[in-house]
Amino acid sequence: MDSAIPVVRLTAAQAALGGRPVLHGLDLSVGAGEVVALLGSNGSGKSTTIKTVIGTVPLTAGDRELFGVPGRRFRDWRRIGYVPQRTTAAGGVPATVREVVATGRLSRHRMLPLRRADRAAVDAALDAVGMLERAGDGVADLSGGQQQRVLIARALAGSPDLLIMDEPMAGVDLASQQVLADTLRTEVARGCAVLLVLHELGPLAPLIDRAVLLRDGRVVQDGPPADAAHHQEHHHDHQDHHRTATRQGLLT
């Protein structure tokens, strides 16, 4: 892999949802092996940014490249592991934990039966997120946080060069967050780049190289995570101050 080529690059990206512009000229790059967190308040465009990267939301202007290839020509999807914003891993389809994670290997084989190496990769991914002993259970019988672990295992099973995760920590208890942080550390150590949406840095803070702060579909800050945490704290302070002041009748 040419480490000089970013694995993700959005340049002056614009995108709209339901006819409403949501991204207003956004620049984002993730280098090979780099861990980048997207931060910002609700509605700032974090999920939309992720969706433009993977191509489920089209750009209305600007450019998108994956591994140096223009987005519309990119086909090497096995290099990308994607964990969508938390819905449910079950989706009404009866499947065992192992079956869901095994779909993470399918892009390698165009639906041919899984080989021994695949089974080993699936087991390793399940083990990494602490779900190996639940491999035979129905996904619908798991808690939300356990389902989230299964979706992360599915993304890991393909040994991606880039992991994209939309709020992987949402609804996950502290112990599981630590398991996920450890899992991610292992992936990063083998050179995997990570782009993830977070509400706060939490246990992942030590892993993050750059934090990109969005507001109204634009990047307002891009730098070391400490700066963004500081910025967010100020933002919260300001909101708290505003709330207190409002309660006291100081503001309307």
Ligand X SMILES: Nc1ncnc2c1ncn2[C@@H]1O[C@H](COP(=O)(O)OP(=O)(O)OP(=O)(O)O)[C@@H](O)[C@H]1O
Would you give the DSSP letter of residue 94? -
Find the binder of ligand X among 6, 45, 145, 160 (CB under 6 A): 45
Residue 51 Cβ vs ligand X, minimum distance, rounded to whole Å: 8
Residue 17 within binding range of ligand X, rule CB under 6 A = yes
How far is it, in rounded angstroms, from Cα 124 to Cα 118?
10
Q: Can you tell me whether residue 164 is helix, strand or coil? A: strand
The residue among 21 and 31 lying less far from ligand X, judged by its C-beta, is 21
Residue 43 within binding range of ligand X, rule CB under 6 A = yes
Bridge partners of residue 38, in order along the sequence: 197, 212
Full 3-state SS string of 61-89: EEEEEECCEEHHHCCCHHHEEEECCCCCC
Residue 111: in which H helix or E strand, if any? none
Segment near ligand X (CB under 6 A); pick from 46-54, 88-96, 134-142, 144-152: 46-54
In degrees, to the nearest 5, what angle opens at C-alpha 113 toward C-alphas 161 and 134?
A: 70
List binders of ligand X among 134-193 (CB under 6 A). none
Segment near ligand X (CB under 6 A); pick from 42-50, 122-130, 135-143, 228-236: 42-50
Q: Can you tell me whether residue 10 is helix, strand or coil? A: strand
Residue 44 within binding range of ligand X, rule CB under 6 A = yes
Residue 18 within binding range of ligand X, rule CB under 6 A = yes
Residue 219 within binding range of ligand X, rule CB under 6 A = no
Footprint of ligand X (CB under 6 A): 17-18, 20, 22, 40, 42-48
